Amino acid sequence: MSLKVLVVDDQGIVRAGFAAVIDAEEDLTVVGEAGDGASAVRLAEELRPDVVVMDVRMPELDGIAATRIITGRQDAPRVLVLTTFDLDAYVFDALRAGASGFLLKDVQPAELLQGIRVVAAGESVLAPSATRRLIGHYASGAGAGTSPGTPAPELDSLTASQRGVLTLVAAGLNNAEIADQLGITVGTVKSHVNALLRKLGLRDRVQATILAYDLGLARPNPPGLHL
């Protein structure tokens, strides 16, 4: 079955361009388009897309606020924020609002398509510049003590293995790298990730990373980082 995608951008020509690129793929189908955040919220409820490709700066309701509303609903779609503006506030606010990814609009079509598939699969994707900003934010201590936007988790509910995997997720390692470092299978890593997300009430690895830094469970480790 095709992944259903909702494209949201206030510029019609940009919106149409993204929709054409996405709709040309056999496994992706654009089910709707919206030109502002309010329409995006309404269409996300009506059309039940798997992924919402969301612009940030829009009239009536901006993309950050729309993302927060959409991801706050039951059985919410994944949101991939796509913006021209690589600003700290946009990166942090989008992720805290519940976005599973953040890419710039100058991304290559293949990267956009891969990003959609990645977030639909429950993973996360961040532009390299956004990753550097996120880690730099915590390296400077600016993120210490802030709320991750979810209820305070009971880390005691995690097993030692799950806590170790959470730390490595926050360090930017993918499943294969975590498996290699811990000497376990990729399937076991996936099981640990799914279990810790469920126990902590988190949607994806981006939220897990933010939470780990907020709680001091992880420390910045910029080299080689790739959420």
pLDDT digits (tens, 9 = 90+) for 170-222: 777 788 889 999 999 999 999 999 999 999 888 778 778 778 877 777 665 44
pLDDT at 182: 94
12, 55 contact by CB (below 8 A): no
- pLDDT tens, position by position, 16-73: 999 999 999 999 999 999 999 999 999 999 999 999 999 999 988 999 999 999 999 9
127, 107 contact by CB (below 8 A): yes
For the chain, what is the radius of gyration of the CA atoms?
17
Token pair recorded at residue 105: 């609009």
**Lowest mean pLDDT: which of 49-53, 134-138, 147-151, 155-159?**
147-151
Residue 126 has pLDDT above 50, yes or no: yes
Q: Which is more confident, 87 or 1?
A: 1
Residue 121 has pLDDT above 70, yes or no: yes
Strand residue runs (E) in 55-212: 78-83, 101-104, 125-126
Average pLDDT of the residues of the chain: 83
pLDDT at 55: 94
Strands 3-8 and 28-34: parallel
Tell me the three state secondary structure of residue 24. Answer: coil
CA-to-CA distance for 124 and 144, rounded, in angstroms? 22
